[in-house]
Structure 1
């Protein structure tokens, strides 16, 4: 599948007259708990040729393959590719956008022929906003948790999708830094109650074996932990005040450098 994804990346470049600067895995495969049949959630950042940017009209700044944008080769049904044009990505990066930060630190990188992603990773240390990232992960945990509680057929993946943003939030609270994308590293660092650790280990074992089992919608050890953590993390985020220096000029420079590096 890796070779097929590279082939789709190269064909997307040809068909859409762009260069893909960076492409990675962004879903459960990157998080470390995929099932064999899991989709491949490929995310990428791309740049157009110089003349594309010399226009008074704003143009579309995203590509979705194959759901919205076609390429001239067959794409495996399990592959979902979507990408952001570089200026869009940099504007979101300036706001410390958590999904983009996850892309840049993915455990699975498919394509990185230029220096842009590495330069962004270096800048990420200075643009990282603990407060905005905390709100993102806490709100994700709350939304996923509500979905669990109102369903009768809760699957293991749904609970893992609640626990991961809670653990990421606690990493931010503890270290004031970008959390790792891998679930295992977050889990091992968290020092969770033993009973909860055993439940999560069982979930991970089943998920990796391809058994996304249906479990009870109310597992007390998870529910009490999530409710307590979400309340504490929300209160912490509200009180947090970290000033971030405006990185706009550095990002403007990065955009110009990338244009020259890619197109000359």
Structure 2
């Protein structure tokens, strides 16, 4: 059994155990970003619905499904109602799921309908702050000092380039690291050469542990973090709205799933 078959089988098991219907499942981690290690987990994320009666309750209920990591599978999912509430606030992880280049399962029309209206809920400000905080946290923890954990460069570069994409294009950045580098880093620069060498080493399966810091990348990251700290506060806080449409989408998704069975 290959890994895709194993993932589908596990998703089917979750449907049976939890009495849910999975609408969409994708890869969300380093494999989707384009820089997995040989021992990287498969970070599977999914959106699901329960039967209508489950929602007709005066009680708050758990709206996530999580499974312990096993056999390199890290599988978690969100109830559709939770996902739509986060979507209306321009939640970057959810928007990434919906644009993942690795889709394991997509049933029914709901994922495509959410994608179609995502430009209307996209908030440049909240998304840039999300990526900026991620970059700052990883930079502070892993990339200070003379010796740094160099594989962590990717976990600062990617969110910083996502900030640059939002600033320049005003849209949700793509998940793929290669595309961000290709479009945002000048060709022929020492920075691009340093990033490409590092990426080649990681894709070749080298164990990237502590090594001397890479000065062109550190200088770039420090400059960009300082720049986006000033830029993020000035961005438009768009997003939100569409409450009626999202209510309708939720009801119609339930009808589509359970009326088709």
Matching residue of 2:61: 59
Aligned to 1:23: 25
Show the counterpart of 2:40.
38
Any conservation in 2 of the 1:37–1:210 contact (CA below 8 Å)?
no
Write the distance in 2 (CA, Å) between the matches of 1:144 and 1:150: 10
Q: Count how many residue pairs are aligned between Structure 1 and Structure 2.
A: 256
Aligned to 1:259: 254
**Aligned position for 1:227:** 222
Instruction: Tell me whether 1:129 sits opposite 2:123 in the alignment.
Output: yes
Q: Does 1:239 align with 2:234?
A: yes
Alignment of 1:209 with 2:204, yes or no, is yes
Does structure 1 retain, via aligned residues, the 8 Å contact 2:126–2:237?
no
| C-alpha contact 2:124 2:238 (8 A) present in aligned 1 | no
For residue 243 of structure 1, report the CA deviation from its aligned partner. Answer: 3.6
Verify: 1:5 aligned to 2:7, yes or no: yes
Return 188-197 or 92-101, whichever deviates more: 188-197
1:160 corresponds to? 154
SS at match of 1:229: helix
1:103 corresponds to: 97
Aligned to 1:8, what secondary structure does the other structure show? helix
Tell me, in whole angstroms, the C-alpha distance in 1 between the residues paired with 2:45 and 2:181: 24
User: Could you say which residue in structure 1 is the equivalent of 2:192?
Assistant: 197
Q: Please say if residues 43 and 82 of structure 1, whose CA atoms lie closer than 8 Å, have aligned partners that are also in contact.
A: yes
Q: Distance in 2 between matches of 1:245 and 1:165?
A: 23
Offset of residue 157 of structure 1? 2.5
Shift of 1:236: 1.2
The residue that corresponds to 2:171 in the other structure is 177
Give the TM-score normalised by the residue count of structure 2.
0.94
Ranges in structure 1 where 5+ consecutive residues have no aligned partner = 68-75
How far the C-alpha of 1:191 sits from its partner, in A, is: 2.6
1:53 deviates by 0.2
Tell me the distance in 1 between the aligned counterparts of 2:126 and 2:167: 12
The RMSD of aligned alpha carbons is 1.6
How high is the TM-score relative to the length of structure 1? 0.93
Is there any run of 5+ residues in structure 2 with no aligned partner, and where?
none
| More displaced stretch, 242-251 vs 180-189 | 242-251
Alpha-carbon distance in structure 2 between the residues aligned to 1:128 and 1:194 = 32
Query: Among residues 214, 218, 227, which one is paired with 2:213 in the alignment?
Result: 218
**Residue 100 of structure 1: SS of its match in structure 2?**
helix
Going from structure 1 to structure 2, the CA distance change for 1:190 and 1:209 (only over 3 Å counts) comes to: same
